[in-house]
Structure formats: C-alpha cells, structure tokens
C-alpha cells in the first residue's frame, strides 16, 4: 500500500526532526537524516513497508544517540543503558541494536565499568560494598569476580583513613563501645574483617585485646 506524503514540517522544539503528514493527517516524525536516506518528499508516495523500515531505522538511530549521551557523562553498565532506553519508551528490538553497536565499538564494557567503579570508590568503600553496587547495576557476578581487583594494602589504607577521620567522633564514648561502633561502621562500608582488625589495631585509641585477636 502506498501513502502519499502531503506535508513535511519541522518540529517546533526539535529542529532536527520533522513531522510527516498524509491527507488523512499525521503519520510519524523522522530525523532529517532518515528523510534524506529514504528520499521522502512532499507530494511523493512511499510504500507502507518502506515507511515502517524508515521508522525502525530512525528509532535505532535515536536509541544510539541517547545511549551515547548517557555513557558520555559517566561509565555505565549494559543494564543501566538498557534501563535508560526503556525509560525513553524505546522498543526492545531497537534497544538491542543500539546496545550491540555500543558494545562493538567499546562504549559499553561491563569489565571496564567494574574497574572504573573500583577506582572511584576504593578510597572510601570496601570491596564487598563496591561489589553490591555493581550487582545492583546489573553487572554479572562472573564479570565482577574477574575485574574487581583491589589490593588489600589499598583497602587497609582506606579503612585506616576512615578510622582516623572518625577518631574525634568517638573520643567521648566509652572505649569499648567506640570500638564496637567503629567496627560496625567499617563493616557497613564493605571492608573485610581482616582489614577492619588491622586498621583498628593501628588506631591510636584501639588497644589490642581479645576483640581484635583470632
């Protein structure tokens, strides 16, 4: 079935997109590039199936543009990108194509995302807390296991820094309670028991007693 394009009008809010009309009324909106690619012009007819292909191509193009804008701001996991595109109302097939293209060119890489998350958070969180964040963002457990590599020396340095900054906060609390609360705070931040014990032992107010020995 052929459809005659009676009018092509630029959108008021987005000058790069155009509304297409037939005699019966509004048909769809397409980008300028898609209109050129399919040689769509006023007064000319276009087959319905060709118009559907143009619409699908246009949606994939839009999905890629939205994905690129999203990852340009900060590294994202594949699941985060998919969720973002779903929120934009993009269909599953177009999302699949956009994500596949982004992965092919390295703009989406869950392994790299894990490494960047570790780099960003390792000075204030333990590996377990970072792992939990990654799982929440849709990264597969096997990808996390392969790429989340934080030396224990760096984890210890981060825990010691937290202990140092928290010393004044717990200074007026009974020593045993202070140590218990500090230990719990470090646990919540995802540090391992071994790292916590080492950091606590080196703290000026943490005496070595049965609490910190195996």
CB-CB contact of 51 with 41 (8 Å): no
Q: What pLDDT does residue 13 have?
A: 86
Report the predicted TM-score, pTM, of the whole model to 2 decimal places: 0.81
Model confidence at 210: pLDDT above 50 = no
Model confidence at 204: pLDDT above 60 = no
Q: What pLDDT does residue 112 have?
A: 96
Q: Identify which of 34, 39, 40, 36 has the alpha carbon closest to the alpha carbon of residue 57.
A: 34
Q: What pLDDT does residue 106 have?
A: 94
Model confidence at 162: pLDDT above 50 = yes
- Confidence band (pLDDT; 50, 70, 90) for 209? very low
pLDDT tens across 90-131, in order? Answer: 999 999 999 999 999 999 999 999 999 999 999 999 999 999
CB-CB contact of 52 with 35 (8 Å): no
Model confidence at 193: pLDDT above 50 = yes
């Amino acid at each position: 079935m052929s459809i005659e394009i009676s009018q092509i009008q630029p959108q008021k809010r987005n000058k790069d997109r155009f509304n297409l009309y037939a005699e019966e009324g509004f048909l769809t909106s397409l980008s300028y590039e898609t209109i050129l690619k399919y040689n769509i012009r006023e007064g000319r007819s276009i087959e319905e199936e060709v118009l559907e292909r143009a619409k699908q191509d246009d949606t994939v193009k839009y999905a890629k543009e939205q994905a690129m804008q999203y990852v340009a701001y900060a590294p994202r996991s594949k699941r985060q990108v998919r969720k973002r595109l779903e929120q934009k109302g993009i269909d599953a097939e177009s999302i699949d194509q956009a994500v596949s293209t982004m992965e092919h060119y390295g703009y989406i890489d869950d392994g790299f995302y894990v490494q960047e998350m570790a780099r960003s958070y390792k000075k204030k969180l333990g590996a377990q807390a970072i792992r939990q964040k990654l799982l929440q963002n849709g990264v597969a457990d096997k990808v996390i296991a392969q790429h989340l590599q934080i030396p224990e020396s760096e984890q210890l340095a981060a825990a010691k820094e937290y202990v140092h900054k928290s010393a004044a906060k717990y200074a007026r609390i009974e020593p045993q309670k202070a140590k218990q609360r500090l230990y719990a705070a470090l646990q919540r931040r995802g540090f391992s028991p071994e790292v916590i014990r080492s950091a606590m032992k080196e703290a000026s107010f943490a005496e070595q007693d049965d609490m910190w020995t195996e």
